[in-house]
Amino acid sequence: MTNNDVLRSLRHILNVSDDKMIEIIRLANGEVSKTEITGFLKREDEEGYLACSDRVMSHFLNGLVLFKRGKDEGRPPQPVEPNITNNVVLKKIRVAFELKDDDLTALVEKAGLQVSKTEMSSFFRKKDHRNYRECGDQFLRNILKGLTV
């Protein structure tokens, strides 16, 4: 999924304004303007569309965790991810919404798919682990759809 698709989906799930989206990004020390956020939330064929960079998406996902769970003063800020993949998005969503394996499995089942705990855990492994598996667009879309419901 593109960063813009994820951003639009998460905005819909959270039901927040453009200003709140900017605030979430600022929680993770990111900076965007209202014009940029508006451009990120537009579809590719709409006038004013802007592609959301991995840097902005990383700030948003880190800010989302802080927005949903609160800031832990004892922990250093999360680093900016250089490359945002579906697996990174899935991990951050899992942390932000405090989802357990059973919760994720239930979300996928709501979308009409079956996934085992073993399959699910493969998405959260390090990329060089032998059981690592890339999270596909359709799988991530179903997770986001399940969160919406």
Q: Domain coordinates of the chain in residue numbers?
A: 3-69, 86-148
Contact, 142 vs 111, CB < 8 A? Answer: yes
Q: How far is the C-alpha of 108 from the C-alpha of 141, rounded, in Å? A: 10
Give the list of residues 6+ apart from residue 135 with CB closer than 8 angstroms, or none: 85, 86, 87, 89, 90, 123
- Pair of tokens at residue 108: 């996928």
Can you tell me the mean pLDDT for 29-47?
A: 95
**What local confidence, expressed as pLDDT, does residue 2 receive?**
94
Q: Residue 76 above 80 pLDDT?
A: no
- Pair of tokens at residue 110: 């709501």
Token pair 């956020």: residue: 37
Task: Please tell me whether the overall predicted TM-score, pTM, comes out greater than 0.75 for this model.
Answer: yes
Instruction: Label residue 111 by pLDDT band (50, 70, 90).
Output: confident
**What local confidence, expressed as pLDDT, does residue 72 receive?**
78
**What local confidence, expressed as pLDDT, does residue 115 receive?**
85
Contact, 57 vs 36, CB < 8 A? Answer: no
Can you tell me the mean pLDDT for 55-82?
A: 89
